[in-house]
Amino acid sequence: MTVLTIIYVFLGEKMKKKVIVVMPAYNAEKTVKMTYNEIPFDIVDEVILVDDASQDRTVDIAKTLDMHVIEHPVNMGYGANQKSCYTEALRRKAGVVVMLHADYQYKPACMREMIQLILEDKADAVLGSRIFGGGTREGGMPIWKNYGNRLLNSIQNKVYGLNLSDYSTGYKAYTGEVLRTIPFHLNRNDFIFDEEMNSQIVIMGFRLAMIPIPTKYFKEASTVDFRTSVHYGVWTLITLARLLLHKHKIKKSPLFEREINP
């Protein structure tokens, strides 16, 4: 076997990472099938849907599709849903995990670029930015949400030392290593889970990238109201403060300590 052949085999094995799409779902009976149908299965190996005690036929429809379905017996929250998603993906030996909402708010085809960045070893985590593409208003994002996100992003960039545009996006991809290393099971069970994930990824030295994505807000798409958004904003600032206290060894937090899971 020549050196070139050995290199080719090594790189080929490295590229054969198992790609799993996880879909947190709640009352998505009208959108789950069309979201699933647009997943690029030429690069995706498996799909996991975690239903957070929907009150409609989301589970019934999901079970007619070729995906693994997990049902929460009671509504546990968006963060708890993600915990179930990532735990099951790791149990199934995922090399790349993409989170795609079941409500069709995000375009499934965009995950190609996210996955490629990870497979080419250019990033450890990739966020889909609704702001980077400049189409938030065209997509129907409320003006207060648009400007609120931009304000939070500017603060997050200063703390993280980065220049990204949409940390609160619900469309993201991670390497299996990221999910095995960060203690995501310690995170909150609500929407603050996302910001805690961002902070964990940054402080542990993983490479965080971003791509522009189109998005759309419509009746069937899940979204948070003004009150929940304010709650998210306040807790984002609290999380950033906790991160800084930990970083400067003023007050340590297990939230920002590495752990290696099998």
What CATH number should be reported for the domain holding residue 213? 3.90.550.10
Please check whether residue 149 lies inside any domain of the structure: yes
- The domain in which residue 210 lies consists of 16-256
Assigned domain for 4 exists: no
The answer as to whether 196 is a domain residue is yes
Q: Note the pLDDT tens digit of each residue in 4-43.
A: 333 434 444 445 799 999 999 999 999 999 999 999 999 9
pTM metric for this prediction: 0.86
pLDDT of 223 reads 58
The SS3 assignment for 212 reads: strand
Distances (CA, A) of 201 to 89, 126, 174, 198: 18, 11, 10, 5
- 35 domain residue, yes or no: yes
Domain membership flag for residue 104: yes
In this prediction, residue 227 carries a pLDDT of 82
What is the number of domains present in the chain? 1
Q: Are 88 and 48 contacting, i.e. CB atoms less than 8 angstroms apart?
A: yes
pLDDT digits (tens, 9 = 90+) for 135-151: 544 545 566 566 667 88
Judge whether 40 lies within some domain: yes
The helix/strand/coil state of 205 is: coil
Q: What is the pLDDT of residue 226?
A: 77
**pLDDT the model gives residue 224:** 61
168 CB-near residues (< 8 Å, 6+ apart): 149, 152, 194, 195, 232, 236
Give the pLDDT of residue 116. Answer: 98
| Ranges of the chain with pLDDT below 70 | 1-15, 132-148, 216-224, 260-262
Q: Is residue 214 part of a domain?
A: yes
- The confidence score (pLDDT) of residue 13 equals 42
Please check whether residue 28 lies inside any domain of the structure. Answer: yes
Residue-level pLDDT at 247: 96
CA–CA gap between residue 216 and residue 135 (Å, rounded): 9
Residues 253, 175, 216, 60: what is their CA dihedral angle, to the nearest 10 degrees?
-100
The per-residue pLDDT for 130 is 82
